[in-house]
Amino acid sequence: MNPSKLKKKSTTPIDPRGWIVVKKVTNGRGLVAARSFRTGQIISEIDGKVVTADEVWSYWKFDPRLGANCIRYDADNFLNPDGYIGAFANHSCNPNTGLVKRGRKLIIKAIAPIAEGDELTHDYSTFIGADDVWTMRCNCGEEACRGTVRNIKKLPKITLARYRKLGIVPKFILDTF
């Protein structure tokens, strides 16, 4: 899908089933549920191009947004979701979804009940290894906002334990400890 077309509409279906739309949300544009989801339900796949860490670093020189949107894909590579739903996936310190790596796919999974119209968010820290220096100021607005998104090792122990139990921290991230 051409990302420039997404910017022209206020509500754009962005997955083949029409379960997710891109809409204006508190922090710009985000993924919004076009239907309800139950805890544990698979919502969608995140598509994109698998790129190396060197390619991600090169993005920072000409388009920092592109570099910031890349998601760690395995120990050595990242997924560049530009033009796909992953480009609109926002962070929350109290997320309602998690990303799960299944084989060669990244899947969005509900970790809490989600009502139609809710923004779909995940915790970026679950895909930032302890070996990564990237940080971001958090604007999620949650009561328990951590203020800064940091790597997995910086998560509060209780939060990390919960995420591990939910199965939303991939082994290659845990291996960075």
* pLDDT at 107 (0 to 100): 93
Any idea what the Cα angle at residue 158 is, between residues 122 and 68, rounded to 5°? 30
Task: Tell me the domain boundaries of the chain.
Answer: 3-123
Superfamily of domain 3-123: SET domain (2.170.270.10)
Rounded Cα–Cα distance for residues 64 and 175 (Å):
27
Residue with tokens 């968010």: 121
Residues counted in the chain: 177
Q: Is 2 left (phi over 0), alpha (psi -120 to 50) or beta?
A: beta
Q: Show pLDDT as tens, one digit a residue, over the chain (177 residues).
A: 334 444 434 444 467 788 999 999 988 899 999 999 999 999 999 999 999 999 999 998 988 888 889 999 999 999 999 888 889 999 999 999 999 999 888 999 999 999 999 999 999 999 999 999 889 999 999 999 999 999 999 999 999 999 999 999 999 999 999
Count Cβ atoms within 10 A of the Cβ of residue 177 and give its class: 0-12 exposed, 13-18 middle, 19 or more buried.
exposed
Instruction: Give the Cβ contact number of residue 143 at 10 Å.
Output: 7
